[in-house]
Amino acid sequence: MTLVVERLNASLRRSAYVRTVFDRAREIDLPDWYLSAGVVAQTVWNDAFGLPAHHGIVDLDICYFSSDLDAAQEAACEQRVRQALAMSLKVDVKNQARVHLWYREKFGYEVPPALTMADAAARWPTTVSLGVRPDGAGLTVLAPFGLEDLFNLVVRPNKRQITKEIYERKVARWRPLWPKVTYVDWDDV
């Protein structure tokens, strides 16, 4: 394991939320799954700034990739994972292979289907959007933009799929919670 991944692993394991996911990884048992989105970056930020591990975290996202595009199957997976984790924190479980089926209704425009989990991750909203899952004593990391921005405490938009408005809503929520993070303006990328 590289030093930066060891650093990420150590930072994440200081969070009870993340430890619960890692400790119950076998029970999650989804194809090509990752703990992803805000909880990963926000846990690292909290660790970097000496904030409580749970500061500002509103949900926990588990993404996976399956060719089964049935919404009922995804809902059953989400229910099973919620029961396995038994957390008070909201747990969202999403099959990245079916995002294109509901994206237009939620965000107002269509997106093409993701072909793999890596393809899906490369569309996530920011350069600090990444996925992790335990791998023995280490981590498997899915970081299409690397880990440099994460550890330099910089957020940049990933314009591949989101709009300026979506990015700015995220930044507006995060800025008061993590004011020392550098947020790169949409127009500067």
pLDDT of residue 136: 83
Using the predicted structure, report yes or no on whether residue 71 has a pLDDT greater than 80: yes
pLDDT in tens, 153-165: 999 999 999 999 9
Cβ atoms of 30 and 62 closer than 8 Å:
yes
Q: Give the pTM.
A: 0.95
Q: Give the pLDDT mean for 70-80.
A: 98
Of the given ranges (65-69, 86-90, 180-184), which has the lowest mean pLDDT?
86-90
pLDDT in tens, 14-30: 999 999 999 999 999 99
Calpha distance 99→97 (Å, rounded): 6
Cβ atoms of 160 and 189 closer than 8 Å:
no
pLDDT band of residue 37 (cuts 50, 70, 90) is: confident
Burial of 109 (0-12, 13-18, 19+ CB in 10 A): exposed
Q: Give the pLDDT mean for 104-110.
A: 95
pLDDT band of residue 1 (cuts 50, 70, 90) is: low
Task: Please give the share of the chain, as a percent, with pLDDT higher than 90.
Answer: 96
Q: Give the pLDDT mean for 94-120.
A: 97
